[in-house]
């Protein structure tokens, strides 16, 4: 199913190299590909997308993420390391996105059918919802979120110096269900494995 691309929808993949728990985790290999290349290969199969962008930091060690984006013929953006919300918002502004599908670089085996379903549901109900997610009940790392850039911009004005909400892009939106129209997509029972 294809929808008219009147508005620009982009997948933003957040990634950085200097993770304390597992440094350079995106460059670990399975088979002949790095973890993040597996993710890129998968999201390239999703329809109704205008752009795929790796949003990384300005740190020198993240040059390799930019080079990897070039190699895989997708875009990249460099922004704040700690204020991830600002990084994603600035990225969306630069690439003139209207709607953002946010996927973290830590999720190489994300189910693209579930992502596709969430994007289509969001676009079909664009006048009724501001934010949608399919995370509830799924194994950790399988969910994603789709939201309006205009709502992220509005939310960011309320974050100020809240470090937790700077680090977690949609936390302020999810904490304010009276202010933003949230939608939680249910999925088939076979996917309901929050224990994983």
User: What is the model's pLDDT at position 178?
Assistant: 96
Q: What is the spatial distance between Cα 82 and Cα 156, in angstroms, rounded to a whole number?
A: 14
Q: Where are the alpha helices (DSSP H) in the chain?
A: 35-43, 63-71, 84-94, 112-124, 149-159, 163-167, 171-174
Q: What is the spatial distance between Cα 142 and Cα 115, in angstroms, rounded to a whole number?
A: 9
User: What is the model's pLDDT at position 27?
Assistant: 82
**β-pair partners for 87:** none
**DSSP code, position 168:** S
Q: What is the spatial distance between Cα 12 and Cα 148, in angstroms, rounded to a whole number?
A: 13
User: CA angle at residue 111 from 110 to 117, to 5 degrees?
Assistant: 125
User: What is the model's pLDDT at position 108?
Assistant: 81
Mean pLDDT of the chain: 91
User: What is the model's pLDDT at position 196?
Assistant: 81
Structural tokens at position 4: 């008219």
Residues of the chain with pLDDT below 70 are 1-6
- The tens digit of pLDDT for each residue in 13-54 reads 999 988 777 777 888 888 888 999 999 999 999 998 999 999
pTM of the model: 0.92
User: What is the model's pLDDT at position 148?
Assistant: 98
Sheet architecture: strand order including 9-14: 75-79, 51-57, 9-14, 99-104, 145-148, 131-133, 182-184
Q: What is the spatial distance between Cα 56 and Cα 27, in angstroms, rounded to a whole number?
A: 14
**DSSP code, position 6:** S
**DSSP code, position 139:** P
In contact, 116 and 44? CB cutoff 8 Å: no
């Amino acid at each position: 199913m294809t929808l008219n691309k009147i508005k620009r929808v982009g997948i933003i993949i957040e990634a950085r190299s200097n993770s304390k728990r597992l440094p350079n985790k995106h460059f670990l290999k399975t088979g002949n590909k790095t973890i993040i290349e597996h993710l890129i290969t998968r999201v390239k199969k999703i329809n109704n997308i205008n752009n795929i962008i790796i949003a990384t930091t300005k740190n020198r060690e993240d040059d390799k993420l930019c080079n990897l984006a070039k190699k895989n013929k997708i875009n990249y953006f460099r922004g704040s390391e700690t204020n991830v919300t600002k990084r994603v918002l600035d990225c969306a502004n630069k690439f003139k996105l209207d709607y953002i599908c946010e996927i973290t670089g830590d999720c190489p085996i994300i189910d693209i059918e579930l992502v596709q379903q969430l994007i289509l549901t969001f676009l079909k109900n664009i006048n009724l919802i501001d934010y949608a997610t399919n995370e509830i009940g799924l194994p950790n790392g399988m969910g994603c979120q789709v939201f309006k850039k205009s709502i992220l911009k509005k939310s960011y004005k309320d974050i100020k110096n809240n470090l937790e909400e700077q680090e977690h892009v949609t936390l302020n939106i999810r904490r304010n269900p009276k202010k933003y129209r949230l939608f939680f997509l249910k999925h088939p029972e076979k996917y309901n494995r929050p224990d994983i």
